[in-house]
Each structure stands twice: as structure tokens, then as C-alpha cells.
Structure 1
Amino acid sequence: MTTLVWLRDDLRLGDNPALTAAADDADGVIVLYVLDEESEYVRPLGGAAKWWLHHSLLSLREALGRRGIPLVLRRGAAEEQVPRVVRESGADRVLWNRRYGQARSHDAALKAALRESGITVRSSPGDLLFEPWTVATQSGGPYRVYSAFWRACTAGPPPAEPLPIPEGLLPSKRTVESEELSSWGLLPTDPDWAGGIAARWEPGEASAVRALEAFLETRVQRYARRDFPAEETGSELSPHLRWGEISPRQVWHRTLRAGGDTGMFLSELGWREFAKHTAFHFGPLESSNLNPRFDAFPWLTEADEGFDAWKAGKTGFGIVDAGMQELWRTGFMHNRVRMIAASLLTKNLGLHWRIGESWFWDTLVDADEASNPFNWQWVAGSGVDAAPYFRIFNPELQQKKFDPEGAYVERWAPYSVALPQIIDLKSTRGDALQAYRALPS
């Protein structure tokens, strides 16, 4: 008999509770990844995310291979593929790390079906510092305000210490057929638009650990200036966290050991937690307004010329155009600029936040099913703990404040200074506020 470990958004060996639990099986381990694009709970990956997944799986396969353990790849509905691999391998135990979004009900159903067939199934804590049911208001409900949520998180027991890479993992004695990763078509080919992404990023667990160490060594003490996009102050850990190449527990405890003034950085992990807790209680976030009042807001629901100019970085607003170019070329955009760009789309151009969220979903390497729509709703004003709708980011003032020398714009969109601005900020702001005031209370 053997143990099947089913990996999802946890593509690492270190601090992997499911893998650690499998290390006690003398009959060996099979590690499985299923590319599920068929189950109804699945949101199909965007192009940039597919590129990252391909290279992350290559890295994981190599790391497992050094320990003599193959990575089994299957494509199809997980409720069909997991039991199939169980039968083919003769596994009597299935382990995985929990998911907290739409997939959790699917996981529960699969767990029940496997147990009915006599298989032992166990799930372990997933990619959160604090599991959603451990943090609640005094009335027992979920938090809707970040500051109160994070105070409650940090007032309780600290996050669990991360687990080391498990020793003693043994390969199963039974060979299970794996699909070829290249057959999944995750990489762009005609044309190959990922050159800039490949130049900036190196997916994989080892790269994630190096990124964290580099940040703690050189930039964390300057993190207070994280809003200045021309300065290298960010951690750039978000895609590694999204794919589980490093866990939030590893980041949390390593950062605390590094010492210094790290509270602001750790609070950003808290914002990530807040997004995932919100999705757990209220999701899916990409399909509906968290504040139902905004169901009546007259957003434009079809892409138009304004959207075309926005996504191409040709709005005439330098910091927005620079951000959209950075996104297209590298699969990433500075966080402050994401907010400015989202505000322009939703509150000046009048387009529905779902249109912008969908574009980010397709082009970001760190596109996350909770954080991406959560942050769009925050800017649009329709989310929990939302910026008030009347808080509209003026891109000209934001550029003067956060890119005063124009270095960020010069790097990514120097052409923008010669472009006419596609809208009048004052009039569109007035139109947005008038529509907001007309909403039913």
C-alpha cells in the first residue's frame, strides 16, 4: 500500500504538512498534481498564471526527483482523476492541504467519497496563517473591517512554526503513468509573449526562498517607502505565495527572526489573510459585489475604447500607462499603481470592476482567486472595508506624490508624456459621484 499526496496551490517541499505526514509511510509516496479545468468550482487560469504554473511544476518535479520521487501529472476533473490514481497506485491513504475558497466544498465531497470506498483521507492546514474558523467577532461572525480583523489575528496564538523538508520520503514501489507537462500547452507559442516575464521571474521553491532572503537582507527596512514604484522596496513574494512555493508561515517566522521594524510588511500578509477569509465567508468574490448596494450602480459592462486605451497603456496619464506596460511586459504591477489604474477604470472611465479584474486575472503572474477580486472591489468601493466611493485616486496627483522625478514613467512608458489624456478627470469624477449619490441607501 502507499500514500497519495495531492498537491494544489502548495508546490513546495518545505512546510508542507501533507508531505510531512506522508513521510511515515514505509510503503512509499506518490505525489500528484491535477490540472483541473473542468470542475464547476474552477476558474480557468489566465495566460501569465499558466506560464508560472508550467515552470513551477518543472521546479517541483526536479526537487522531488532528487529524492527519487516522481511527480505524477494528470489533466481533468479532480473528482475523477484522484480516485483513478488511487486505484492505479493501490493507495490506501490520501493526504492534501486544505483550500479555503470555492474548492473546499468540492474537497469535502471527494473526501467523503474516498472514505466510503475505504480510503483514509486527511487534510492539513493550508496557505493561511490563521484558518478562517479560528478568527471571529464577538458575535461569532466574520470581520468586515481589516484593522479589527488583524488585531484579532495577532491577539491570539501565533502562527504555527513552519515544518522542515521531510526526511525519509520514499517512492512508491508501484509506477503510475504521468502525462507530459509539455502536452498541457501552458506556455505561449504563437507568439511567445512571455520573454519579459521570463527575464524578471524565476518560479520555484528555491527561488522563493532566495527572494525572501534578498528582501530581508536589503529592502525590508525601506519597506515604509513601498508606495514609490521606482524604488526597489517590495518583497516580490506574491507570485511565490500564490503558487505555494513558500508558505505564509515561513515568511512570517523568518521575518520575525530577521528582526527590525517589520510590522508594516507583516501587516501586508494580514491583508492577504483578510482577502482569503472574506472569500471563505462571502465568496466567490469575482462574480458579485460584496456590498449589494452597488448592484444598482450604472457601471459600463462592455469593454469600450476607453478600456482599450487603458489596457494598452495609452491613456495619457503617465503613471497608469507605465503600470499597464509593466504588467504586459512582466506579468506584474506595483501595488500602488494597481490601485491608481483600477480607480481610473472604475471611477473615471466608468467601467465595471469585473472588466478590469478579468484583465488582471489574465495578465498577472500572482493572480489569486481571493486577492485579485477582493482588491478590485476595495478600490471600486463595493467590497468589505472598502475605500469610500468618493475616494478617487487622481493619477496626476498620485504621480507627483509617488513618482515625483518621473523615473517609473520614464522606465515603462516614456511615450505617455506626448499622449493626450483620454478623459477629463474633473468631469468624470463629478459623473461618478453623482451616480453614487443616486444609489438607493
Structure 2
Amino acid sequence: MSSSSTALVWLRRDLRLADNPALQHALSVAETVIPVYIHAPHEEAPWEPGAASLWWLHHSLGALSNDLQRLGSRLIIRSGSTPECLESLLAETGATQLYWNRLYEPAVIKRDQQIKQQLRDQSIEVQSFNSALLFEPWEITNKAGQPCKVFTPFWKTCCAQGVHRLPLPTPETLPAVDPELTSIPLAALGLLPTLDWDTGLASSWQVGEQGAHEALESFIDGAMHAYKEDRNRPDLAGTSKLSPHLHFGEISPLQVHSACMRAVAEGRYPGEDRHLLHFLSEIGWREFSYHLLYHFPQTPESPLDTRFERFPWPKTDPEQLRAWQKGQTGIPIVDAAMRELWHTGWMHNRVRMVVASLLSKNLQIHWLEGARWFWDTLVDADLANNTQGWQWTAGCGADAAPYFRIFNPVLQGERFDPQGKYVRQWVPEIAGLPDNYLQKPWEAPAEVLAAAKINLGRTYPHPILDLGETRQSALQAFSAIKQPPVAS
């Protein structure tokens, strides 16, 4: 190692110090290591980060900056064209090495490949690492050597291959960064909303690496003990809520996997515990989504199942779309979910499927409209997961729900919110209804509505659709394109 060697570590969605391969490698080969964040959302078009993601990013960068300062370093923030910012930083610092952790979105892959080639042509050492996945997309294939399009064989192959590495530790100290090296203030990025809508987000999350690990340990010690059943209940705190932490790289899937294995080794869980194994399979679904995005980069805009390219989507009714977005459909479980999303930046996975089914099947509004709304309002908006989730529900993705599976929101609400706790929390205007009418207030007799102080159409909307009629209409439309599925 040269005593004067300097390396830049380009941080993106790996906003943590522990288990950060690019950072660790830089520390092993360079005397001076400079952590850099470059804000260039336009380079991710057409899927630039949405408003909720930008809110999270602001607080995550702030937490990382504080963590770096505690170890003797600091975060250098720049904004603009990434290639130009990197060129400038290399010139200002005399750095001859650049390291980053890989991302997998199509636009980002293209940009990163161009940067890598351009800088290598200038004799800059450039290297990228895997920090976001247990398995790289090119490491898992089916028996024919092709990308897997069905989850179960994909995850079986992953489990058979096994995870044979441990997370990297947090550095004990970091080299100081030249105080003359300029960094723009975090506030100058303008990530926070100009309208005061984020109060609920702030009260719902502890953003940053520490918050991610506290959430994981709390989940392992608590909700994971009943995860296989309770994960379907939006009225219970039965999930890990790690998704935004994973998206921004405040924690890695390797750290999550390692913590689960440590819980087994410490006797907190049997090795074949069904709740733990089911949770790990959900981490597997995240992996699967990333593998699909990598191998099928057209899917954020186009159906993986090409039969759906000829689906006769009707013209979108803007009033119906707006009612869905704002939680004013008159279908209680749907409205509860959409309001939870607006208030907290998150939505329980069970009701994500319910609201997506209502939009793409009952209302026959293109799934991309829903994907774009989620993209702007979810703090865990992740191109791989968002694309896979919407295409699964719409029936046009890998391992997708069959076209004839149309979630009945009334039955879903009665099954997974049996005491109505979730609906009453987010749709308080109908909280006075008895349980047997809470999920379907339009069936309640006039005297029941009066006793609950509900005036349908005024205090709470009439349903914007007939669930039975729209189901039949959807079945007819979807059956027009159905063919025997293609084996994969």
C-alpha cells in the first residue's frame, strides 16, 4: 500500500458502515478513504426516486454522516452529473482508486458500466462489489442454465448453494478527510417535502443503520415467533418492516440472514423453525425480484408475460384512480390500506395485494398506474420489488397469480382483520359499525348505519364499483388473452 494512496468510496443505496464491501476494500488498500455521495436522481429516469423515498434518503444520509463523523471521517456530498462529479473529485483529491457496491436497475447498470470503462481508460482503478444480495443474478439458474421464472425452484437452488460468508464488521476508525475538500450541505439537496405531509412518516420510522438493526433484533425476539401466520394480519405488528432499511442499504440481506442463523445457534429458534424459514423465504422473494429485474430489464414498463401486451386495458377513469389513491373507494380494507400508505409511507403486504387486485382487475386500470403511485408514496419503493409485486397481482409477471384470482376485499378484510382493528384505525368514520358490517357497510340496515352515525355518500363514500359485476367483467377480459402457460 502506498503511503499516499487515496480511494473514493462512492455510496449509493449502501448507507451503512458494517458489511460494506466497497468501504472495507478501500480501507485495506488505501491510506486515505473518502466517502462520497452524489445526488443525481435524473440519471435513474424514468424511475427517479419518489417523494417518500427522498424523505427517507435525507434522514438516512444524515444518520450516515453522523456515524462517519464518530469514526473520524465525514461524508462528501455533491450534486449534478455523476461522471462530472467523480472526475472533479478524483482531480481534487488525487485519488487513483474508486470503489462502489453494485446496483441492479437497468438505467443505473448502463451508467455505471460507462463510468467504469471511462475511468479505467484513464488508469483509475475501479472495482464494484456485491452488498445488496445474497446471490448475484448470474449465479442462480434453472437446470437449462436460464434465469428462473418460478420462485420455488429458484429459492431451492439458492438454499442448496448456501450462504458461505459472514457480514463484514464495522470499522473501528476511519481516516480523516481533508477539511479543505468541499461538500454541499445535506439540506441543499432539497429532499424534504415543501408541504407538511411527512409528520406521520417521522413518527413511524427510525431511519438509519442503528434503527435497522434495532428493528431486526426486535423482530427476531418478538414477531418472528408467530411470523408464518401473523405476517398476513395487517391488524397485528407481525412483520419485520425491514423493507426500507434493506432498500437503502442500512442493513444487508447477509446481515439479516446471519442474525437469523445466530438466533438458531443461541437456541432462540430450532433449526427447522417454520416461522424463521418462512421469513428467510421472504428475503428470498426479494432476491427473486432482483434477479428478474436484472435478466428482464424491460419489466418495469412491460409485462414479463407477453400475452398481456394485447390486454384491452380501457381508458383510465381519473376519478376512480383518484378515489383509489386517496382511500375513498368505499371499500373499507382498501381505503384503510391506502390511508396507511399516505400517513406512514408503508403498507402491509397482504393489503398491497388486495389494493393492487382491486385496481388492476376490478377497476381494470393499468398496473403501471398503481406502480407509479406506490413509487411516489412508499418509503420502501424499490424497482425490483415494486415491479414484481404489481406484475404478480396483475397476473402478467413471473410466478404470477392466475388471471382468475381476483381478491375479494370483503372476504380478505373479514379473514385478516377479524376484529376490524385495522379498518377502525385508518377509517375511523365507520368505526362504530359492528364487526359483521364493518367490511361491507353498504349491506348494513339503515338503523345500524344511523346508530353508528354513518351517512353513506356523505360521511363515507358509497362503493365506487360493484365487486361482483367488476369481477365478471375482469374474468371476461382476462380470459380473452389466456393460453396454456409456457413452461420455464
What TM-score do you get using the length of structure 2 for normalisation? 0.88
Question: Which of residues 319, 325, 335 is equivalent to 2:333?
Answer: 319
- In the alignment, what sits opposite 1:328? 342
- In the alignment, what sits opposite 2:447? none
3-state secondary structure, aligned to 1:23: helix
Q: CA 1:215/1:162 → structure 2, altered by over 3 Å: closer, same or farther? A: same
What displacement does 1:351 show? 0.1
Question: Which of residues 148, 157, 161 is equivalent to 2:166?
Answer: 161
- In the alignment, what sits opposite 1:377? 391
Work out the CA distance in 2 between the residues paired with 1:130 and 1:42.
27
Q: CA 1:365/1:106 → structure 2, altered by over 3 Å: closer, same or farther? A: same
* 1:423-434 alignment runs, 5 A limit: 423-434=465-476
- 2:37, 2:75 within 8 Å by CA — same for their partners in 1? yes
Work out the CA distance in 2 between the residues paired with 1:275 and 1:159.
22
Question: Which of residues 339, 345, 367 is equivalent to 1:353?
Answer: 367
- 1:30, 1:172 within 8 Å by CA — same for their partners in 2? yes
In structure 1, give the amino acid aligned to 2:415: K
- Segments of 5+ residues of structure 1 without an aligned counterpart are none
Work out the CA distance in 1 between the residues paired with 2:15 and 2:281.
24
Say yes or no: does 1:16 pair with 2:20.
yes
Work out the CA distance in 1 between the residues paired with 2:417 and 2:49.
33
What displacement does 1:27 show? 2.7
* 1:71-90 alignment runs, 5 A limit: 71-90=75-94
In structure 1, give the amino acid aligned to 2:9: V
- 2:74, 2:176 within 8 Å by CA — same for their partners in 1? yes
- 1:301, 1:355 within 8 Å by CA — same for their partners in 2? no
Work out the CA distance in 2 between the residues paired with 1:420 and 1:347.
19
- 1:36, 1:77 within 8 Å by CA — same for their partners in 2? yes
- In the alignment, what sits opposite 2:139? 134
Work out the CA distance in 2 between the residues paired with 1:159 and 1:355.
41
Work out the CA distance in 1 between the residues paired with 2:205 and 2:395.
32
Q: CA 1:411/1:159 → structure 2, altered by over 3 Å: closer, same or farther? A: farther
What displacement does 1:251 show? 0.3
What displacement does 1:38 show? 2.9
What displacement does 1:42 show? 6.1
Work out the CA distance in 2 between the residues paired with 1:360 and 1:142.
27
Say yes or no: does 1:234 pair with 2:276.
no
Q: In the TM superposition, what whole-angstrom CA distance separates every residue of 1:357-400 from its partner, at most 9, and x where no partner exists?
A: 10000000000011011100000001011000110000001011
* 1:194-205 alignment runs, 5 A limit: 194-205=198-209
Work out the CA distance in 1 between the residues paired with 2:136 and 2:169.
21
Question: Which of residues 88, 113, 116 is equivalent to 2:118?
Answer: 113
Q: Which runs of 4+ in 1 moved over 4 A?
A: none
Work out the CA distance in 2 between the residues paired with 1:275 and 1:354.
17
Q: CA 1:294/1:26 → structure 2, altered by over 3 Å: closer, same or farther? A: closer
Structure of higher CA gyration radius = 2
- 1:322, 1:413 within 8 Å by CA — same for their partners in 2? yes
Work out the CA distance in 1 between the residues paired with 2:33 and 2:57.
22
How many residues were matched structurally? 440
In structure 2, give the amino acid aligned to 1:18: A
Say yes or no: does 1:31 pair with 2:35.
yes
Question: Which of residues 97, 104, 119 is equivalent to 1:100?
Answer: 104
- In the alignment, what sits opposite 1:280? 294
- 2:231, 2:238 within 8 Å by CA — same for their partners in 1? yes
Work out the CA distance in 2 between the residues paired with 1:265 and 1:234.
9
3-state secondary structure, aligned to 1:34: strand
3-state secondary structure, aligned to 1:123: strand
3-state secondary structure, aligned to 1:325: helix
Work out the CA distance in 2 between the residues paired with 1:192 and 1:217.
35
What displacement does 1:96 show? 0.7
3-state secondary structure, aligned to 1:121: strand
Say which is worse superposed, 19-28 or 350-359, in terms of deviation.
19-28
- 2:71, 2:173 within 8 Å by CA — same for their partners in 1? no
Q: In the TM superposition, what whole-angstrom CA distance separates every residue of 1:138-195 from its partner, at most 9, and x where no partner exists?
A: 2111000000100011011315211001234312447321111111111012x21000
- 1:12, 1:60 within 8 Å by CA — same for their partners in 2? yes
In structure 2, give the amino acid aligned to 1:114: L
Question: What fraction of aligned residue pairs are identical, expressed as a percent?
Answer: 48
What displacement does 1:277 show? 0.2
Work out the CA distance in 1 between the residues paired with 2:53 and 2:185.
19
- In the alignment, what sits opposite 1:407? 421
- 1:129, 1:159 within 8 Å by CA — same for their partners in 2? no
Work out the CA distance in 2 between the residues paired with 1:120 and 1:303.
53
- 1:89, 1:174 within 8 Å by CA — same for their partners in 2? no
> Whose relative contact order is higher, 1 or 2, with alpha carbons under 8 Å and at least 6 apart?
1
3-state secondary structure, aligned to 2:96: strand
Work out the CA distance in 1 between the residues paired with 2:231 and 2:160.
26
Say which is worse superposed, 231-240 or 173-182, in terms of deviation.
173-182
- 1:22, 1:95 within 8 Å by CA — same for their partners in 2? yes
Q: CA 1:14/1:286 → structure 2, altered by over 3 Å: closer, same or farther? A: same
3-state secondary structure, aligned to 2:383: coil
In structure 1, give the amino acid aligned to 2:90: V
3-state secondary structure, aligned to 1:386: coil
